[in-house]
Every structure is written in structure tokens, then in C-alpha cells.
Amino acid sequence: MSRQSENQQDSAKCATYLKGLADTVRLQIVRALQSGPLSVSDLAELLELDLANVSHHLRVLYHADIVTNQRDGKYIYYTLNIGFLRSHAASKSLDFGCCSIDLRG
């Protein structure tokens, strides 16, 4: 693979991450998930939004690989993708490789 092709792929991947975060609700969700796993209903209650809206934004974050999910019975819990967390203990920023985003709560 050529260097230019690699750069284009890296740029496209970075753009996907940034598009995933390019919404105020999605940023609120990411900040909420800094404290640990939450379900759609937990997030909807915390952010005072309807379930469908939160579910939509989680789907965008999931497809951008910013969040992961795990089923526990009938609930699905979402967490930040730990591969992007710069400081696993503090969870204060996301490092995508191409850029990093500082999360201030």
C-alpha cells in the first residue's frame, strides 16, 4: 500500500471519529460514559432525553467505534472504547491516533 493511500485511510478514519462526536448530544453521552457503563434508559434519564433520541446517537457512536456495548440480560450497557482512552484511570481524553479530544466534565 502506498504512503498516500495509507494517509487517506488514516484521514478517513479520523474524520469518522470526529463526525461521530460532532453533535452536542453525542458529546454529552461521551461525558456521561466517562463514569462507567450506562444503559440507554440510564442515559435518557440522566440527559433528560427520549429513548429513541439517545438510541440513535448511541448507534452513531457505536458505528464510529467510539463506544462499545455489552448485553446483560435484557439490557445493553454502553462504555467508551477503552482503546481510545489516553488515561485509563482518569478517562479524561480520547486519543484517536490522528488527534485527541480532551473531555472536561
Q: What is the pLDDT of residues 27-86, one digit of tens each?
A: 999 999 988 999 999 999 999 999 999 999 999 999 999 999 999 999 999 999 988 776
The pTM (predicted TM-score) of the whole model is 0.82
Residues 69-78: contacts with CB under 8 Å, at least 24 apart: 70/37, 75/39, 75/41, 76/39, 76/40, 77/37, 77/38, 77/39, 78/29, 78/33, 78/37, 78/38, 78/39, 78/40, 78/43
3-94 CATH choice from 3.20.20.70, 1.10.1380.10, 1.10.10.10, 2.60.40.790: 1.10.10.10
The reported pLDDT for the residue numbered 48 is 97
